Structure 1
């Protein structure tokens, strides 16, 4: 697993954000190299990705690639952001939950197409424009919910980490199947000698006999629903205490309060209507 980017971060910024600064070789482009790298990683995992294999797939020498990409680490950064950019780039209509759920599902679908993406990890990996666009959409889904700014960021990152953690199981399964040429289901179905020793675990046996393992819950669907439920509870709690919190419930702008009577929660009629639509869409 790639613990952190070993590439020059400043060069990574130039490459990811379109400032290549190197002259191309005719017939070869950065986009072609990135796409070829994705194809190799899809077939062999990130461990099987080498500059030589990418060059062979393109019909060029390995040294030709270095005119465009200075290292394998830089290539992986580019591949990751390219994969993130696949699919629709707009949000569905609806409230915060449907929008955030859509972001999570798109991420899960990307990981299913490209399991190696879960291996690209590290706190110092430079994000590209596609990666930042996804984060922007996740923050945007939560920004008008009444959560504090730090809670908006934390909630978005929680959903992202959940998707990433689930995706690690795809990496493990793909690696084991490549190494053994045996599927996960086939391997576990052949473990009768192990199951015969489970009688000392009564709760496990009870769950087995009552069908708990016959039709298991989908881990991603079950987990995503629980994560979103938790965020929704926090938003509801913020709604209940909103009178104690200064600022418009929708945009956070200052709210001019009347000298008497009921306190105002919104700075304008437009923000009030937006909040009403959000609640109706939940």
Structure 2
């Protein structure tokens, strides 16, 4: 985790971890079978404890708190968002996070599948804004594209005035908050529409 936090996940190898610990590479195999298992253990340790939302009132406030804590965990370990995707087996600590988020929607009229879709939307949005704000999280970039692109747009503001203005004023925080509120507004609309009595339910 120390190596990944400082240099990115691509710097993590069995050889590098062994060197950091003052061990031989073969000695690590007494603890994990391969790098995939090492990464799985890293994820399980890095995610931390899932949020306890029991003291928060209302599904919306609960999801906002969930998103805040998820964002904080990913800021602490910037390599987590890119590696916690896809079809894979999760450990109990990681699985506790979506379990916590699902509990926020337990009292709503959304179906179980819709609740899962809702928390996937929230988590995917937080993941996307972290990827955009974390240089080098995508393996096919060197982490320098964002500032270069911003400068190019500002230099060519006459051709791209709207893009130049947004790149000069936007921040990852406002982007994340705006997107989260937009998602929650949509969920609130869906929940309210199902909760409100129809014309034949008066």
Could you state the TM-score of these two structures normalised by the residue count of structure 1? Answer: 0.61
Q: Give the corresponding residue for 1:224.
A: 180
Compute the displacement of 1:108 (Å): 0.7
Over alpha carbons, which structure has the higher Rg? 1
* Separation (CA, whole Å) in 1 of partners of 2:88 and 2:33: 16
**Count of residue pairs brought into register by the alignment:** 198
Q: Give the corresponding residue for 1:142.
A: 105
Tell me whether 1:199 sits opposite 2:162 in the alignment: no
Compute the displacement of 1:70 (Å): 0.6
Q: Give the corresponding residue for 2:122.
A: 159
- The answer (yes or no) to whether the contact 1:84–1:130 under 8 Å persists in 2 is yes
| Residue 92 of structure 2, aligned match among 129, 139, 154 | 129
* Separation (CA, whole Å) in 1 of partners of 2:91 and 2:82: 17
* Separation (CA, whole Å) in 2 of partners of 1:239 and 1:149: 16
Cα-to-partner distance string for 1:137-167 (whole Å, 9 max, x where unaligned)? 1111001012122211111111111122222
Deviates more, 1:66-75 or 1:149-158: 149-158
| Residue 109 of structure 1, aligned match among 72, 88, 102 | 72
The 1:60–1:137 alpha-carbon spacing in structure 2 relative to 1, beyond 3 Å, is same
Cα-to-partner distance string for 1:32-89 (whole Å, 9 max, x where unaligned)? xxxxxx1110011111111111111111111111111011111111111211125x64
What are structure 1's unaligned runs of at least 5 residues? 1-37, 245-261, 264-282
- The answer (yes or no) to whether the contact 1:42–1:116 under 8 Å persists in 2 is yes
The 1:125–1:118 alpha-carbon spacing in structure 2 relative to 1, beyond 3 Å, is same
Compute the displacement of 1:200 (Å): 2.9
Could you state the TM-score of these two structures normalised by the residue count of structure 2? Answer: 0.83
* Separation (CA, whole Å) in 2 of partners of 1:160 and 1:242: 32
- The answer (yes or no) to whether the contact 1:146–1:235 under 8 Å persists in 2 is yes
CA RMSD of aligned residues (A): 3.0
| Residue 85 of structure 1, aligned match among 48, 53, 61 | 48
